[in-house]
Amino acid sequence: MSEEDDLDLASLSDEELVEQMHDDLYDGLKDEICEGVNILLERGWTPYKVLTDALVEGMRIVGVDFRDGILFVPEVLMSANAMKAGMGILRPLLAETGAPKMGKMVIGTVKGDIHDIGKNLVSMMMEGAGFEVIDIGINNPVENYLAALEEHKPDILGMSALLTTTMPYMKVVIDAMVEKGIRDDYIVMVGGAPLNEEFGQAVGADAYGRDAAVTVEMAKDLIARKHNQLAARTG
């Protein structure tokens, strides 16, 4: 066994451990990521801080080297799996806030796109803020979205896309909602790394969420506004 294998994560300072976790995420080391997450939690870190400083930042670094052709799909998949394992530990903790139910969201990644880490993060943070989240997964054609809206009657529809080739599909879904006369029954939020505010407006969404934390705040605002409008109409 090499010295590297023997590395005792618990003996590292917080800063060294987080740096080591960035390396471990890069190398797709699932067990080490889980161990690191648990150590930070035991040291009193909040689940949110572990998520953002150790996991999301680690994935950002992976993203840079993927872009630059230093890492390839199989390696990034290993990183993604390690990230998901770490998120699995944090998920119940983030959802445990006991916040009153704020509303319901259906969320899914659009057709042709299998990226789901960002979507899962948004789901986790929304659950933590007291939303009920129905996650319809990846690669969703318009029919899946419409069926989920019909079945679950959420307040919010969330769509995620990470590819410039799949993001236009959001407009296909929104146009189908308009055609069915149900567009205004829902708050539509869109997100994913290649999107921006202008794109959100261009496809007819109500809001673009830059990251999971911003999304939660926007969702709360939009729900409050919707309730006020309804109250004004009926009152």
Question: Applying CB under 6 A, which residues contact ligand B12?
Answer: 56, 59, 62-63, 66-67, 73, 76-77, 80, 107, 112-119, 121-122, 158-160, 162-164, 189-194, 209, 211-212, 215
| Residue 189 · residue 125 · CB < 8 Å | no
Q: Among residues 43 and 165, whose Cβ is nearest to ligand B12?
A: 165
Q: Among residues 76 and 134, whose Cβ is nearest to ligand B12?
A: 76
Q: Is the dihedral of CA 183, 144, 93, 215 positive or negative?
A: negative
Own/partner contacts of 27-33, CB < 8 Å, gap of 24 or more, are 27/78, 27/79, 28/75, 28/77, 28/78, 28/79, 28/81, 28/82, 29/82, 30/78, 30/81, 30/82, 30/85, 32/82, 33/82, 33/83, 33/85, 33/86
| Residue 187 · residue 171 · CB < 8 Å | no
- b/e per residue, 208-232, with b = 16+ CB within 10 A? bbeebbebbebbbebbeebeeeeee
What is the closest distance, in whole angstroms, from the C-beta atom of residue 159 to ligand B12 in the complex? Answer: 6
Secondary structure (3-state) at 136: coil
What is the closest distance, in whole angstroms, from the C-beta atom of residue 13 to ligand B12 in the complex? Answer: 26
HEC profile of 71-127: CCHHHHHHHHHHHHHHHHHHHHHHHCCCCCCCEEEEEEEECCCCCCHHHHHHHHHHH
| Residue 21 · residue 54 · CB < 8 Å | yes
What is the closest distance, in whole angstroms, from the C-beta atom of residue 169 to ligand B12 in the complex? Answer: 12
